[in-house]
Chain A
Amino acid sequence: MEFLANIGLGFSVALSLTNIFYCFLGAFLGTLVGVIPGLGVLAAISMLFPLTFHLEPTTALIMLAGIWYGTTYGGSTASILLNLPGTPANAVTCLDGYPMARQGRGGVALFMTTVASFFGASFGIVLLTLFTPVIADYALRFGSAEYFALMLMGLVAASTISEGSAVKGLSMVVLGIIIGLVGMDSQSATVRFSFGVMGLLEGVSLIALAMGVFGVAEIIMSVRRVRTADIDPETLRLKAIKPSRDEMRRSWFPMLRGASIGSFFGTLPGTGPSIAAFLSYAIEKRVSRTPERFGNGAIEGIMGPESANNAADQTAFIPTLSLGVPGSATMALMLGVLMIHGVAPGPNLISSQPELFWGLIMSFWVGNLILLLLNIPLIGVWVRMLTIPYHILYPAVLMFICIGAYTSGFTVLNVWMVLVFGALGYAMRIFGFPGAPLLLGFVLGPLMEEHFRRAMVLSRGEFLTFFERPISAVIMALTGMILIWSVWSAEIIRRRRAARAAGDGATTHEAREG
């Protein structure tokens, strides 16, 4: 009965007029951001974050979460119509969505991905509701050693699994932690790495960092590269979006499989919606009796991934809300938002802030319902957004970033920080360093230091404590396995590439070197 009471409490919070309004606003803005290629969810959340300063923390989170899952709904639109993923999680939707649009079935594809998104999200929310309290309950036993080990695992997984070189990912995590240490040390009141700037006493602004590394750097990369598309509006009339009976029949199982895959990978650190979508696509292709249709507009190829990425969006909240350990950069940003509002994340969150926790989760139902209603009749409107030229869009986005940075604390220092991190972000793009691990490290850094120090005090300076306590030892072992696996798989890829290059003939560099 307590469970029902909690759900009732959640709905009473989520269905207040203010919260419905901000949920709508978040979902709406999220779809908008998702539709427009070249504007990521991290940039969007950090850009709109200053607007939530004067809100209650629950309302603020409801709105920001709406932006997060809204982008995944919207991202499929650009994938299908332009062959350009609106967000990385929708990249795989291009493979079959774009051919569908070329065959004049773009309307069907947009309609069905919205259905798949809603299905996947609902699946994820149910799991989130059931499992988060259980995990949090279990986590109440965790001490500092366990937390440090968990955060370490999250960071290692997030930086090595996702993409590119593991060394680059890890180095960005470390750099992020170091940037996170700037300012007053909470235990000794020593000011570190502030270079005499008074404003840095409170540390580097999370907002400025996220907006610089993701927003500004993205704009610099996209200027003169993003092209505006032309789309045939005829295929998107309301009549043209009705799927055939056969398409409906073939969509059920991919949706269900996608939702399960997505829910699983959403909870793990470092995987998240993009990987879930890719895996779902691979599995659909494998189980299909007609795999040759994939890539030529197979509806299974969009239903599975779109269901998977939305389920993952929701279940990503499980570790964030139950343990206070975020698995992705976006979740780290959510956690940062909580902390800025003075709410301590961790297993106590559910019992100490039941309105916030249950209200947030129940608002996901509201938000997804709004998205369902928003997307189907308004497909034409979103498509029109795609035709806004980038040279109009980016100065406006930059202006919002600057005003947002300035008004979060009313200090010009934040604007200068945006500039510095924009430059850093651009340099990172040139050298191929990923941004997400930097942000994760930045948010988790101070917490990790605190837990590390506390664990060392409790163990009298014995580093082995992380391996002697059973839970912590298991997590450390997992972390080690992830590290070894990533080094090993990188080596395999390198060998394979070298072998292929050698096979290509004498023009390759290996051959010349040999």
Chain B
Amino acid sequence: MTRIDYTDLVGGLGLVLTGAAVSYVSISQYPLGTLQRMGPGMFPAILGVLLAGLGVLLSLQALRRPGSRPDIRIFSPLFVLGGIAAFALVIVPFGLVPAILAITVISSLAELRVQPVSLALLTLALCLMAPLVFVVGLGLPISLVRWPF
């Protein structure tokens, strides 16, 4: 337990920053117009102020109450998101099968305890199943394997 709720304080300040940025961009870059003929900047400008206001409210509440330490993990998001990034990087130049290989292996690392046999079987199964469903079954135009060089 902490004396004030740091989680909500940081969350609230994040909202304030986001709201301020949205309002700033809408006011400086898009025409505001008048209330009768609203320009593209008006609605987001109002929303940005609203968001920042809610952020202030949340931060003030956080100062008045004790909080608990959030359970933040590093490796789970790192490997899961890393797998998605690998998929995005591989799918166009190299094709579907290498992309599946990349995402399965990298995201499996999030378990932090690799079981090589089951991972190999899973990868093999997915590499067979996905092309069958998406390319053969649904007829989507994705190349299975490619060599760009």
Question: Which residues in A have some Cβ–Cβ distance to B below 8 Å?
Answer: 51, 54, 165, 167-168, 170-171, 174-175, 177-178, 181, 185, 187-188, 190, 192-193, 216, 219-221, 223-224, 391-392, 394-396, 398-403, 406-407, 410, 412, 415-416, 418-419, 422-423, 426, 430-433, 449, 452-453, 456-457, 460-461, 463, 494, 509-510, 512-513
Across the A-B interface, how many residue pairs have beta carbons closer than 8 Å?
174
Tell me whether A219 and B80 are in contact in the complex, defined as CB-CB below 8 angstroms, given that A174-B47, A181-B43, A190-B30 are known contacts: yes
Q: Do B84 and A220 have beta carbons less than 8 Å apart?
A: no
* Bound-state Cα–Cα, A181 to B43, Å: 9
Residue of B31, B54, B57, B72 near A190 (CB, 8 A) is B31
Residue B22, interface by CB 8 Å: yes
A contact residues around B104 at 8 Å (CB) = 395-396, 399
Report whether A509 and B134 are in contact in the complex, using a CB–CB cutoff of 8 Å. no
Complex formed: what's the CA distance from A296 to B83 in Å? 44
10 contacts between A and B (CB under 8 A): A178-B22, A185-B40, A190-B30, A407-B140, A419-B88, A423-B77, A432-B8, A452-B43, A461-B36, A494-B65
A399-B14 Cα distance, complex, nearest whole Å: 31
In the complex, what residue of chain B is closest to A412 when comparing beta carbons?
Answer: B88
Are B51 and A171 interface neighbours, CB within 8 A?
yes
- A394 contacts which of B107, B112, B142 (Cβ < 8 Å)? B107
Q: Is B20 interfacial (CB-CB < 8 Å)?
A: no
Contact of A461 (CB < 8 Å), options: B14, B35, B65: B35
Residues of B within 8 A of A419 (CB): 81, 84-85, 88
Residue of A nearest to B7 (CB): A431
Residues of A within 8 A of B71 (CB): 430
Docked complex Cα distance between A430 and B100 (Å): 29
Find the B residue at minimum CB distance from A193: B25
B124 at the interface (CB under 8 A from A): no
- Beyond the given A395-B108, A395-B126, A452-B38, could you list 12 further A-B residue pairs with CB under 8 A, ordered by the A residue number? A171-B55, A188-B40, A192-B26, A220-B81, A224-B110, A395-B103, A403-B130, A406-B142, A412-B88, A416-B88, A419-B88, A422-B84
Chain B residues 90 to 118 lying within 8 A of chain A, measured CB to CB, are 91-92, 96, 99-100, 103-104, 107-108, 110-112, 115, 118
List B residues 1-39 near A (Cβ within 8 Å).
Answer: 1, 3, 7-8, 10-11, 14-15, 18-19, 22, 25-26, 30-31, 34-39
Residues of B close to A51: CB separation below 8 A? 138
B122 within 8 A of A: yes
Q: In the docked arrangement, what's the CA distance between A51 and B55, Å? A: 39
CB distance from A95 to the nearest CB of B (A): 26
Q: Is the CB of A509 within 8 A of B84?
A: no
A-contacting residues, B63-84, CB 8 Å: 65-66, 70-73, 76-77, 80-81, 83-84
- What separation, in Å, do the CA atoms of A292 and B29 have in the docked complex? 65
Note all chain A residues with C-beta closer than 8 A to B38: 452-453, 456
Partner of A223, one of B80, B134, B142: B80
Contact yes or no, B81 A461, CB < 8 A: no
With contacts A402-B87, A419-B85, A453-B38 known, is A178 near B44, CB below 8 A? yes
CB distance from A151 to the nearest CB of B (A): 13
The distance in angstroms between the C-alpha atoms of A417 and B15, with both chains bound, is 20
B-side contacts of A223, CB under 8 Å = 76, 80, 110-111
State whether B57 touches A461 (Cβ < 8 A).
Answer: no
Give Cα A262–Cα B126 distance, bound, in whole angstroms.
40
Set B30, B96, B112: member contacting A192, Cβ < 8 A: B30
A residues within 8 A CB of B58? 165, 167-168, 171
Contact of A453 with B43 in the complex, beta carbons under 8 Å: yes
A51, B51: Cα distance in complex, Å: 36
Contact status A430-B54, CB under 8 Å: no
8 Å CB contact of B11 from A403, A418, A433, A460: A433
Q: In the assembled complex, how far is the CB of residue A249 from the closest CB belonging to chain B, in whole angstroms? A: 47
Known A-B contacts A391-B111, A395-B104; A220 and B80 likewise in contact (beta carbons under 8 Å): yes
In Å, the complex CA distance between A396 and B118 comes to 13
Across-interface contacts of B31 in A (CB, < 8 A) = 188, 190
Across-interface contacts of B134 in A (CB, < 8 A): 403, 407
